[in-house]
């Protein structure tokens, strides 16, 4: 790894984050609020990061995508892509926040407000690192691209279009790093200390509609199976075992890292599971909840519809399912499996929308090692552990041509703080902003030639 540059981080990161939070870039409220907040945010970045805007090329891709290119010493090498999004989810006016969600209050060692963790804090620490390195006269070994989207939370097109643009230019990123995991405490039962959970894959998603048609008619003489009955039976057949449990390669690796850091039964248990990968899928599936969701394609019926009157047979009934696809699963493959499981030709299975699950990025390659090395500077107490992200991130548009795609924000988020994401009292510790900046600085400095 190259020698680290002498950098005096610019003070005031918390004030800069506070100003970002004050701009309500709520993508779901674009119609009501208009594009002005998003334009104001782009202008704010120009003001807060002058060197970045002077030395990096900036392209605006769609109305909500920003792509920066920091030319490296060897621009023919595959670049690093650092991602974040600057839109936020809405604030429920009936929620009782300690400080107004868009005030950006700095108090008690925290910056409070919507977006502090998701994802303006993570965006800020990338820009802080770039700005500080530029001030020190540093140039990265290879190109560093910054990909910032303004409609991640509404599944908008910014990141997808940036990804398509880069792909069209023949660019194949050496590493992609987006949101997803974080530095957390107690990621599994029995585990002591903190761990940096680095997402090496993310589950896919599919919205599927089951529907059946009936004859209609009067409810006094019902047929053996009405449209409602058929749909209900189909939903009932989709038990948790519909999809076979399979453990990503990251799981035994994760357990092997956790075993020596566990107390009590955890130590032998995780060691055993780590050495018997085929057991993991079954053991996790049997645990249920989050552990099961890690190894299995899950099916959640979310809506039911049918009928027009209390005494009329429905001519159509439907159920909507929300599927989260385990690694390696495709939308089409999942739909096929549902059809087979339901085993009723009168029930149509229609995919409304979906994204395949990601492939698994290596946790034993130079990219993961670089993340771990940067972490040993920023969060020396935390071990870097590969895992699978449950939620979708913008990086899903990159993994098809960027095999080293990781989902991790270098900020400490304990369980209570993680619950504030998309919730109430979202906040980030001021000291974590310095650590996040250091992480990205070490990552950029450590890029190989």
Of 179 and 425, which has the nearer Cβ to Zn ion? 179
Structure-token match 């997402």, residue found: 199
Measured distance CA(404)–CA(252) in Å, rounded:
19
Q: How far is the CB of 405 from Zn ion (least distance, A)?
A: 16
Measured distance CA(319)–CA(321) in Å, rounded:
7
- By rule CB under 5 A, what count of residues binds Zn ion? 3
- Per DSSP bridges, beta strands 110-112 and 316-325 are unpaired
Residue 178 in contact with Zn ion, rule: CB under 5 A: no
Please answer whether residues 208 and 234 qualify as being in contact, where contact means their C-beta atoms are separated by less than 8 angstroms.
no
Residue 119 in contact with Zn ion, rule: CB under 5 A: yes
Of 377 and 391, which has the nearer Cβ to Zn ion? 391
Of 119 and 432, which has the nearer Cβ to Zn ion? 119
Measured distance CA(288)–CA(88) in Å, rounded:
31
- Per DSSP bridges, beta strands 347-355 and 204-213 are antiparallel
Please answer whether residues 102 and 112 qualify as being in contact, where contact means their C-beta atoms are separated by less than 8 angstroms.
no
Question: Which tokens hold the place of 140?
Answer: 């990265």
Of 118 and 202, which has the nearer Cβ to Zn ion? 118
Q: How far is the CB of 126 from Zn ion (least distance, A)?
A: 14
Please answer whether residues 28 and 90 qualify as being in contact, where contact means their C-beta atoms are separated by less than 8 angstroms.
yes
Q: How far is the CB of 413 from Zn ion (least distance, A)?
A: 12
Of 119 and 128, which has the nearer Cβ to Zn ion? 119
Of 118 and 360, which has the nearer Cβ to Zn ion? 118
Q: How far is the CB of 177 from Zn ion (least distance, A)?
A: 14
| Contact window for Zn ion (CB under 5 A) among 46-54, 173-181, 262-270, 346-354 | 173-181
Q: How far is the CB of 264 from Zn ion (least distance, A)?
A: 35
| Contact window for Zn ion (CB under 5 A) among 14-22, 121-129, 177-185, 324-332 | 177-185
Cross-sheet strand order for the sheet of 316-325: 298-306, 316-325, 204-213, 347-355
Of 203 and 246, which has the nearer Cβ to Zn ion? 203
Structure-token match 């701009």, residue found: 23
| Contact window for Zn ion (CB under 5 A) among 61-69, 107-115, 175-183, 272-280 | 175-183
Q: How far is the CB of 242 from Zn ion (least distance, A)?
A: 29
Residue 87 in contact with Zn ion, rule: CB under 5 A: no
Q: How far is the CB of 163 from Zn ion (least distance, A)?
A: 16
Of 153 and 445, which has the nearer Cβ to Zn ion? 153
| Contact window for Zn ion (CB under 5 A) among 143-151, 172-180, 225-233, 273-281 | 172-180
Of 180 and 187, which has the nearer Cβ to Zn ion? 180
Q: How far is the CB of 392 from Zn ion (least distance, A)?
A: 9
Residue 118 in contact with Zn ion, rule: CB under 5 A: yes
| Contact window for Zn ion (CB under 5 A) among 118-126, 168-176, 223-231, 319-327 | 118-126
Closest CA to 16 of 48, 52, 53, 54: 48
SS3 196: strand
Measured distance CA(257)–CA(426) in Å, rounded:
30
Q: How far is the CB of 315 from Zn ion (least distance, A)?
A: 42
| Contact window for Zn ion (CB under 5 A) among 44-52, 111-119, 166-174, 233-241 | 111-119
Q: How far is the CB of 88 from Zn ion (least distance, A)?
A: 8
Cross-sheet strand order for the sheet of 110-112: 106-107, 110-112, 427-429
Q: C-alpha distances in angstroms, 191 versus 185, 194, 195, 400, 407?
A: 9, 8, 9, 33, 22
Of 118 and 445, which has the nearer Cβ to Zn ion? 118
DSSP-assigned states of every residue in 115-174: TTTTTHHHHHHHHHHHHHHHHTT---SB-EEEEEES-TTTT-SHHHHHHHHHHHTT---S
Binding mask 135-154 for Zn ion (x = CB under 5 A): --------------------
Please give the residue ranges that form the binding site for Zn ion (CB under 5 A): 118-119, 179
């Amino acid at each position: 790894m190259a020698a680290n540059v002498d950098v005096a981080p610019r003070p005031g990161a918390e004030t800069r984050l506070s100003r970002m939070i004050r701009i309500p870039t709520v993508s779901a409220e674009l119609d009501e609020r208009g594009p002005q907040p998003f334009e104001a945010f782009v202008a704010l970045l120009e003001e807060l990061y002058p060197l970045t805007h002077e030395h990096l090329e900036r392209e605006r891709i769609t109305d909500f995508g920003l792509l920066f290119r920091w030319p490296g010493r060897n621009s023919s090498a595959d670049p690093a892509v650092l991602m974040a999004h600057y839109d936020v989810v809405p604030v429920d006016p009936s929620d009782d926040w300690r400080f107004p969600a868009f005030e950006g209050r700095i108090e008690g060692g925290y910056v409070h407000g919507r977006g502090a963790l998701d994802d303006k804090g993570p965006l800020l620490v990338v820009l802080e690192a770039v700005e500080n390195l530029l001030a020190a006269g540093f140039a990265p070994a290879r190109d560093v691209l910054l990909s910032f989207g303004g409609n991640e939370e509404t599944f908008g097109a910014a990141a997808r279009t940036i990804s398509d643009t880069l792909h069209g230019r023949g660019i194949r990123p050496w590493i992609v790093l987006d949101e997803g995991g974080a530095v957390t405490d107690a990621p599994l039962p029995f585990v002591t200390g903190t761990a940096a959970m680095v997402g090496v894959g993310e589950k896919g998603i599919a919205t599927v509609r089951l529907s059946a048609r009936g004859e209609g008619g009067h409810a006094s003489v019902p047929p053996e199976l009405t449209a409602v009955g058929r749909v209900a039976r189909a939903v009932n057949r989709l038990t948790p075992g519909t999809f076979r449990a399979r453990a990503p390669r990251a799981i035994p690796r994760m357990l092997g890292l956790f075993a020596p850091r566990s107390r009590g039964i955890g130590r032998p248990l995780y060691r055993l599971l780590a050495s018997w990968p085929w057991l993991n899928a079954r053991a996790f599936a049997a645990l249920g909840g989050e552990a099961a969701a890690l190894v299995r394609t899950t099916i959640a019926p979310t809506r039911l519809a049918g009928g027009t009157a209390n005494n009329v047979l429905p001519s159509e009934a439907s159920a909507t399912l929300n599927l989260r696809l385990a690694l390696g699963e495709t939308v089409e493959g999942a739909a096929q499996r549902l059809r087979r499981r339901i085993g009723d030709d009168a029930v149509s299975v229609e995919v409304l929308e979906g994204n395949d699950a990601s492939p698994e990025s290596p946790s034993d390659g130079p990219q993961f090692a670089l993340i771990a090395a940067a972490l040993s500077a920023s969060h020396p107490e935390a071990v870097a552990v590969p895992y699978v992200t449950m939620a979708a991130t913008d990086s899903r548009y990159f993994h098809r041509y960027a095999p080293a795609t990781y989902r991790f924000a270098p900020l400490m988020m304990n369980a209570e703080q993680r619950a504030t994401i998309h919730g109430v009292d979202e906040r980030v510790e001021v000291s974590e902003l310095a650590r996040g900046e250091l992480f990205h600085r070490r990552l950029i400095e450590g890029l190989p030639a």
